[in-house]
């Protein structure tokens, strides 16, 4: 995590605000206010960017950031929501999970110690998990106040990826009584920082709301074309197997020797096994000169962002040179990805280049990335928000290539629509 040097508060504040839009600056003031906050907005509105700015001002030990999944925690450099609150897989149901966690002295001490938490990708946190976490905070802090007086900031967009629900209706966290009890101040970022094209913005807004309007039909039909497998755009697949197979197929077509770069792991065997399942890098990164790659994280020096694509022009033992698409050549060093335990201690880490083959990825893994070109088949999607996440990766509609689409793939849960329609948004 990036930390700012200690300096005068006003200098620090002005330095941060210079990069923010008006609505982001107002949202940042609300984050600084000490209230419980729900920060939301569509894809590309700058939610993650804003949280990064806020975290530069606070002590991450007093207010840690929690991710919805292990993979997200590795990329955030944080902990998962479930591990921090001692929930595990919630075996035996809510009552059993609460009873077990409430006997964990380390957990109780941890919940007493922090000022609060930031929960990222709140849409993927089930309501039952949120409810148990709040009850545990009350128990630990011996207080009937919401969250035992802890401060809670939740970030995300319920119109994107839903919580994993094994049976019955989706367990959206906003449907649980703890949501209203938390007293969130709601702030919506409405300006898309990624897209400036008015028609495309209108289409994304309709798809986010599950509306298959006539303009949406015309727009999507206009972008349907026969799949050109030699086109450099990234393919987005709903399933991992399809993405992996396409990447390997395109790599095999390059007439050059494979270069296999082993990931270097540190930590106990148990935690390394966990890291292998959640890290964005493979155990062995297989590349070739001339292959297309995509960056997996934002560069502190701003040479690339998550989703930047390019072609490998040189590979050495400790550096890879990438010619960015429509950009300059950059040298890439290996970087460390890590998992933390519930206390925030690094339990395992892996050293590898922050690159992956860019021919294909999954819709889930593309969330947070910005793409210039993509190919996608929207004919048989099944999850709410899937189509919206895919389409909203793009900077411009010029980069959209649809192999096909079906109105039934543009899905939104009606409960999400009702939630946003009734949301009391802070003036901005």
Residue % of the chain over a pLDDT of 70: 95
How far is it, in rounded angstroms, from Cα 311 to Cα 246?
17
Q: Is the pLDDT of residue 131 over 90?
A: yes
Model confidence at 167: pLDDT above 80: no
The string of pLDDT tens digits covering residues 231-241 is 988 999 999 89
CA pair distance 362, 352, nearest whole angstrom = 21
Mean pLDDT of 320-326: 92
* Rounded distance between C-alpha atoms, residue 136 and residue 134, angstroms: 5
* 7-31 pLDDT per residue, tens: 333 333 333 444 777 888 899 999 9
Query: Are residues 332 and 322 in contact, defined by beta-carbon separation less than 8 angstroms?
Result: yes
Q: How far apart are CA 22 and CA 283, in angstroms?
A: 43
Domains of the chain listed by start with CATH number: 22-192 (3.40.50.300), 198-409 (no CATH)
pLDDT per position as a tens digit, 405-428: 999 999 999 999 999 999 888 754
- Mean pLDDT, the chain, as a whole number? 88
Position 130 scores a pLDDT of 95
Question: Over the chain, what HEC string results?
Answer: CCCCCCCCHHHHHHHHHCCCCHHHHHHHHHHCCCCCEEEEECCCCCHHHHHHHHHCCCCCCCCCEEECCHHHHHHHCCEEHHHHCCCCCCCCCHHHHHHHHCCCHHHHHHHHHCCEEEECCHHHCCHHHHHHHHHHHHHHHCCCCHHHHCEEEEECCCCCCCCCCCCCCCCCHHHCHHHHHCCCEEEEECCCCCCCCHHHHHHHHHHHCCCCCHHHHHHHHHCECCCCCCCCCEEEECCHHHHHHHHHHHHHCCCCCCEEEECEEEECHHHHHHHHHHCCCCCEEEECCCCEEEECCCCCCCCCCCCCEEEEEEECCCCEEEEECCCCEEEECCEEEEEECCCCCEEEEEEECCEEECCEEEHHHHCCCCECCEEEEECCCCCCCHHHHHHCCECCHHHEEEEEECHHHCCCCHHHHHHHHCCCECCC
Chain centroid, CA 109 distance in Å = 29
Which of 126-130, 219-223, 255-259, 323-327 has the lowest average pLDDT?
323-327
Distance CA 302, CA 190 (A): 25
- Residues 125-129: what's their mean pLDDT? 93
Backbone angles phi, psi at 361, to 5 degrees: -155, 175
> Quick one: pLDDT at residue 427?
58
Task: Give the model confidence (pLDDT) of 187-201 as tens digits.
Answer: 999 888 788 889 999
Q: How confident is the model at residue 6 (pLDDT cuts 50, 70, 90)?
A: very low
pLDDT at position 258:
94
Looking at residue 302, its pLDDT comes to: 85
- Segment 209-234 shows an average pLDDT of 93
Higher pLDDT, 154 or 279: 154
Checking if the pLDDT of 110 tops 90, the result is: yes
State pLDDT tens for residues 334-382. Answer: 999 888 887 888 888 889 999 999 999 999 888 878 888 899 999 999 9
pLDDT band at residue 92 using 50, 70 and 90 as cut-offs: confident
User: What is the rounded CA–CA span in Å between residue 83 and residue 85?
Assistant: 5
Given this model, what pLDDT does residue 39 score? 96
CA distance 174 to 261: 44
């Amino acid at each position: 995590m990036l930390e700012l040097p200690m300096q005068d508060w006003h200098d620090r504040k002005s330095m941060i605000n210079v990069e923010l839009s008006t609505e982001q600056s107002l949202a940042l003031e609300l984050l600084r206010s000490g209230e419980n906050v729900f920060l939301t907005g569509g894809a590309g509105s700058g939610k993650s960017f804003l949280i990064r700015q806020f975290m530069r001002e606070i002590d991450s030990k007093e207010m840690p950031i929690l991710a919805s999944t292990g993979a997200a925690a590795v990329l955030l450099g944080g902990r998962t929501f479930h591990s921090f609150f001692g929930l595990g897989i919630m075996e035996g149901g809510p009552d059993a999970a609460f009873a077990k966690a409430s006997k964990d002295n380390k957990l109780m001490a941890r919940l007493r110690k922090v000022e609060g938490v930031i929960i990222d990708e709140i849409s993927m946190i089930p309501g039952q998990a949120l409810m148990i976490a709040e009850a545990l905070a009350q128990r630990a802090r011996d207080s009937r106040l919401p969250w035992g007086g802890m401060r809670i900031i939740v970030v995300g967009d319920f119109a994107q990826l839903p919580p994993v629900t094994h049976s019955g209706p989706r367990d959206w966290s906003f449907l649980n009584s703890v949501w209203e009890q938390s007293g969130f101040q709601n702030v919506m970022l409405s300006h898309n920082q990624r897209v400036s094209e008015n028609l495309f913005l209108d289409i994304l807004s309709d798809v986010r709301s599950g509306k298959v309007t006539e303009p949406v039909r015309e727009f999507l039909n206009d972008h349907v074309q026969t799949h050109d497998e030699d086109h450099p755009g990234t393919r987005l697949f709903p399933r991992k197997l399809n993405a992996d197979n396409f990447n390997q197929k395109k790599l095999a077509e390059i007439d050059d020797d494979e270069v296999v770069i082993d990931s270097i792991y540190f930590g106990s065997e148990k935690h390394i096994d966990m890291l292998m399942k959640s890290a964005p890098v493979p155990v062995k990164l297989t590349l070739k000169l001339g292959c297309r790659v995509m960056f997996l994280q934002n560069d502190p020096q701003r040479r690339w962002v998550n989703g930047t694509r390019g072609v490998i022009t040189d590979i050495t033992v400790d550096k890879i040179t990438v010619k960015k698409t429509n950009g300059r050549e950059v040298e890439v060093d290996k970087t460390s990805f890590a998992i933390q335990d519930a206390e925030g201690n690094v339990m395992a880490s892996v050293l590898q280049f922050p690159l992956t083959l860019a021919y294909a990825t999954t819709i889930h893994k593309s969330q947070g990335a910005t793409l210039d070109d993509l190919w996608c088949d929207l004919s048989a999607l099944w999850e709410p928000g899937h189509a919206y996440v895919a389409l909203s990766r793009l900077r411009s509609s010029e980069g959209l290539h649809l192999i096909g689409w079906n109105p039934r793939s543009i899905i939104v849960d009606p409960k999400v629509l009702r939630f946003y329609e009734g949301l009391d948004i802070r003036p901005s």
